[in-house]
Structures are given as structure tokens and as C-alpha cells.
Amino acid sequence: FFLSHLQRNMGPDQYTHTKKMGTLPTKQEAEGHADWKDAEHRMGTSIMAVQFKGGVVLGADSRTTTGSYIANRVSDKLTSVHDRIYCCRSGSAADTQAVSDIVRYYLDVHSAQMGEAPEVHTAATFFQKLCYDNKNALSAGIIVGGWDKHDGGSVYCIPLGGALVRQPFAIGGSGSTFIYGYCDANFKEDMTRDECHEFVRNALSLAMARDGSSGGIIRTAIIDENGVERFMLPGNQLPTFYEN
Amino acid sequence: FFSLLLTSIMAGIGAGYDLYPTTFSPEGRLFQIEYAGKAADASGTAIGVRTVDGVVLGVEKLIRSKMLVKGSEKRIFTVAPHAGMALTGLLADGRQIVNSCRDEAQQYKRFYGQAIPGKMLNQRISSYIQYFTLHDSVRPFGSSVILASYDKSGPGLYMIEPSGVSYGYRAVAIGQEKQVAKTELENLDFTTITSREAVMEIAKIIYKIHDDVKDKEFELELSWVCAESNGKHEHIPEDLLAEANKVGKQNLEADQFGSDEEMEI
């Protein structure tokens, strides 16, 4: 115990390295201590949600890393907070799990009081409240997507600072930076459920191909009036594009 | 013995079980709360009607003194942009209810990021009012309230009594002449009535139920929250109020001098 304690304190500050997104390790860090032994679990991630008439399609990759080690290559980053409301989680695995647990509790109480299913906007507002009020402590980028009877399908993006933006589609996570162009070029209003599903899978596949922190399988969830349908696309069946 | 009997008779059926809201009678009644209900009805009548496109509230404001500045005694209040409340009974009590209602609506907006649905506001305010029937150190509110709201689910009309009991209504009346008003309201067709029509109907009813002998003059106060007001609760426009008063008066005269057929001796 004493030895590992020494080792831990010899290197540079753990959290400076892991909390900053996209920071390359120094030579000392890479060779000095194995960061994957102690680093916080992060979801480098590519996440996405697209609204269509009558519902939403949510998608995510499945890679959770502790430093450079892939702790879980089949993670499920699509988390339910209510019957027809899901969130896509990126950033710190612990932070996003904690926040979505709290939101699930609040939505449970709220829907019991209301006597009806909560609105997606309400779930998004809860996420925003937690992410903004605790912005200094959290590292959580969340996309909320779901269906409710007032607004139909809707997508809300809550990036790091705790802003809340409703969008027809939203992308997030470290992998999303590589697919802004693709998404802008290929998104169309009023796509069908299947067109949206294909759009999500193609976009995530491209992100996973370029981002080291994203990979594995593509998990998707389609939410509409009738409920949630979940899909899994194995890594060897991902749509392929230019590969030299 | 006889004086004791007399006292108990004169005290009414309450007789000893009506001193505190925290005492049940042998029949299981809470007399203080029932008395609070009587206090709540001791003022001009208030009426609410839920229409196809909104809710209309109307109050018969009895003018106690000619010295009063017109419009000074408000009986209808806006509690949230999309919700309003009409009071009867002890108005100071009622205004407390309005204040806490405003707080609830504001808190909800801050926490949930959206306007409080009518039925939630109704639940909250009913719980608040009911709280005061449970403790020895406080007394029940001597005021009944009618809550009008317009949210995503459409128009909502609720009435909360001093006991904290509340229901949703298509039309409701509280105050002095509530029984007469209720009978009149039953004639309305709620499947087709619009807010404008309801304004006129309520004016007619209030003019009709007003007791000229007991109370001298009254002032009509009307508000609505409907499609025409863009979902905002506000007092009806001046010209509409003038027309409502005119219609109310005309209808009353027509009633009084209407049918000659019964004048047979």
C-alpha cells in the first residue's frame, strides 16, 4: 500500500492529465506510470440524437477508457431516465451515471404527481439544472432525446457548461468533432424513422473510424409513441467508407 | 340544568366539539372547518366557467360604501401569466392564498423550466390550504378560491374550499348566492360555449342573482384566460366589460317584465 501510494504521488497530478479533453500525455507520463491503473473512467465517445416526425433516434459508440486502456469495449451509453426519455452520456462515466440517476429519480416523482408521462423538456431541464449548478465539479456532456405527447420527438443538447439547447439533431463527445461536416451535409428535415437510423449509424461509424477514444459497436435506440426499440450493430458490420 | 341545556341548544349542534379545528365531533365532523366554509360564503358570489377555448371568471363585488374608489377592491388576481384566481369570504385570508399561489407558480417555473400545469397548481394550493386545518396553532382560511388556468392540456377550472378539498369543474360558483348561481349555470351548454359567450352569460347570472333588497349596489369584475387573450390571464377589455354590464341589465329587465302570461288572477 505504502509503495503504490508513493508511486501515485511521484507523477504529475492525475486529474490534470485525464480531465482535460484531448491532451496528449507527456513522455514522462507515458513511460513513468501506467495511467490506466488509476485513471478515472472516461467515455471519449461519439454520441448523437436525431428527431423525426413521431420520435427520435439516439446512437452511441461503446468505448469506455481509463487513460489509454479500454475498460469496457461494449458499454451502453444510452441510458433510460423514463419510459420514453433517454440520454446519451459523454465525459466522465461516474459523473454522467450519477447525474442521470438523480434525473431518473426526479422524473419518477414528477410523473407520479402529474399522473402522466413527463415531457422531454422537463428531463432536459433537470439535466441542465444539475450540470450548470455543479459545473465546477462535473465533466458531463449529455444529449437528451425522447417522445412526449405535447411535442412529439425532441432532442436537447447539454454541453459541458450546462447550457440547454433544443436542436433537430445533436452530436457530442470527442468523436463528434470529426463529423460536423458530414452531419451538416447529410441532415435533412422530415426524414423517416429508417432514414434517421441510417444517418446516425453512418455518422457514428465515421466518427469511430477517426477518433481514438471512440469505437466498438454502435448502439441505437428509437423512441416513439409506442415505446423504445434498441439495436446493436457489431463492430465488423459497421458501414464503411474510404479506407486506404 | 335548564340553562345548560339552553346554552348547548343555542351553541348549535357543534356544542363543545367546535372549539378547535383539531377536535372531531362524535359523528366524525370537524366543525371549525365547516364554520370556515360559512365564512367563505359570506361575500359576493364568484363564478367560473370553463369554455371550449378558455376559462372566464366573474365576481359580484358588493359595494359597502359610496366612498370607495371604483375598482379598489379587487377580487380577481393573476397568479401566473396563464392562471388567475377569484376569491370569496375573508379577503385578507384569500390574498394570502393568492400570494402563496404566486410563489408556487414561480418556484415550479424555476425548477421545471415551464409554466405550472393547472392541475399541479391546484394540487399544491389545496395541500397548502389543507395544512391549516391540521394544526392547533393556526386556523383554517376563511376563503374559498376559484382557480382558472390555461396550459398545454387546455383550459382548467378548479375550486378549493377552506377544508382543502378541491375538484375540477366545468362551471362553479362560490359565495352568498352560489346555490342559485349553480342552478343557472346548469343551463349552459359546455360543449359549444365560447369565452365571449361565457362573459355575457356570467354577467347575466350575476345580475340575476344579485339581491337588491339585502345589498345595495354591486360592481361586476370579469376576467378570462383563453385563446383570444393568447393564453394570458387578464381582466376583460373595457369595452367588453361595458357590453357585459349592458347585457346583464337588459336581461334582468326582460326577465322582470317579460312574460305577461302568468299574470292571471
Coil, strand or helix: which one is B159? Answer: strand
Question: Which amino acid does the sequence have at B250?
Answer: Q
Q: Do B173 and B47 touch, CB atoms closer than 8 A? A: yes
* pLDDT, tens only, B61-81: 988 888 888 888 899 999 999
Residue with cell 382548467: B156
Using DSSP's 3-state secondary structure scheme, residue A240 falls into coil
Please indicate whether residue B150 or residue A34 has the higher confidence score (pLDDT): B150
> Which residues, in sequence order, are CB contacts of A76 under 8 Å at separation 6+?
A60, A62, A219
According to the model, what pLDDT value does residue A3 have?
43
Max CA separation in chain B (angstroms): 70
At A7, is the secondary structure helix, strand, or coil? helix
Alpha-carbon span B47 to B211, nearest angstrom: 16
Which of A89, A206, A218 lies closest to A159, judged by CA?
A89
Element (H or E) spanning B222, and its range? strand B217-226
How far is it, in rounded angstroms, from Cα A49 to Cα A142? 10
- Which of A1-10, A99-108, B92-101, B184-193 comes out lowest in average pLDDT? A1-10
- B120/A121 touch (CB, cutoff 8 Å), yes or no: no
Q: Is A122's CB within 8 Å of B114's CB?
A: yes
**More reliable by pLDDT, B172 or B10:** B172
- Nearest chain B alpha carbon to A151: B152
Answer whether B113 sits within 8 Å of A150, measured CB to CB: no
Q: Which residues of A touch B168 (CB under 8 A)?
A: none
DSSP 8-state class, residue B20: -
The three cell numbers locating residue B200: 355575457
Beta strands in chain A (DSSP E): 41-43, 47-52, 55-60, 64-66, 69-72, 78-82, 85-92, 140-148, 152-158, 165-167, 169-172, 218-224, 227-233
User: What residues pair up with A146 in beta bridges, in sequence order?
Assistant: A85, A154
pLDDT at B263: 54
First to last CA, chain B: 54
Cell triple for A143: 444529449
Predicted confidence (pLDDT) at residue B258 exceeds the cutoff of 60: no
| Beta bridge partner(s), residue B49 | B56, B171
Count CB pairs under 8 A between chains A and B.
22
Contacts of A79 (CB under 8 A, 6+ apart): A86, A87, A88, A89, A96, A97, A100
Q: How many of the other CB atoms lie within 10 Å of CB of B27?
A: 7
For an interface test with B, which of A111, A113, A128, A151 has the most B Cβ atoms less than 10 Å from its Cβ?
A113
pLDDT values of chain A reduced to their tens digit, one per residue, 244 residues = 344 444 444 444 444 444 445 667 666 566 555 666 667 776 689 999 999 999 999 999 999 988 889 999 999 999 999 999 999 999 999 999 999 999 999 999 999 999 999 999 999 999 999 999 999 999 999 999 999 999 999 999 999 999 999 999 999 999 999 999 999 999 999 999 999 999 999 999 999 999 999 999 999 999 999 999 999 999 999 999 987 6
Closest chain B C-alpha to A115 CA, distance in angstroms: 10
Residues in CB range of B3: below 8 A, 6 or more apart: none
- In the residue annotation, A45 being an active-site residue is answered as yes
Q: Of the candidates B219, B211, B204, B217, which has an alpha carbon nearest to the alpha carbon of residue B251?
A: B204
Q: Are B145 and B122 in contact (CB under 8 A)?
A: no
Question: In chain B, which residue's Cα lies nearest the Cα of A113?
Answer: B120
The pLDDT score that the predictor gives to residue B136 is 82
Lowest mean pLDDT among A9-18, A113-122, B171-180, B216-225: A9-18
Interface residues on A facing B, Cβ-Cβ cutoff 8 A: 110, 113-115, 119, 121-122, 124-125, 128-129, 150, 164
Chain A CB contacts of B111 under 8 Å are 125, 129
In the three-class reduction of DSSP (H, G, I as helix; E, B as strand; rest coil), residue A26 is classed as coil
Ordered alpha helix ranges (H), A47-92? none
pLDDT value, residue B257 = 65
CA distance B148 to B82: 8
Q: What is the pLDDT of residue A14?
A: 41
- Category of B16 on φ-ψ map: left (φ > 0), alpha (ψ -120 to 50) or beta: left
**Whole-structure pTM value:** 0.80
pLDDT of A234 reads: 96
- Percentage above 90 pLDDT, chain B: 75
Mean pLDDT of B140-161: 96
Question: pLDDT-derived band of residue B40, with 50, 70 and 90 as boundaries?
Answer: very high
Comparison of pLDDT for B15 and B93, the residue scoring more: B93
B114 and chain A in contact, CB less than 8 A: yes
Which of B112, B119, B123 comes nearest A122 by C-beta?
Answer: B112
Per-residue model confidence (pLDDT) at position A17? 41
CA–CA dist A140, A162 (Å, integer): 9
B26 touching A (Cβ < 8 Å): no
What is the residue-averaged pLDDT of chain B? Answer: 89
The answer on pLDDT for B2 being more than 70 is: no
Which residues are within 8 A (CB) of B223 and not within 5 positions of it... i.e. 6 or more apart? B56, B57, B58, B76, B78, B84, B86, B148, B233, B234, B235, B236
d(CA B164, CA B182): 21
* Higher local confidence (pLDDT), B50 or B254: B50
Any A CB within 8 A of B119 CB: yes
User: CA B227, CA B155: separation in Å to the nearest integer?
Assistant: 10
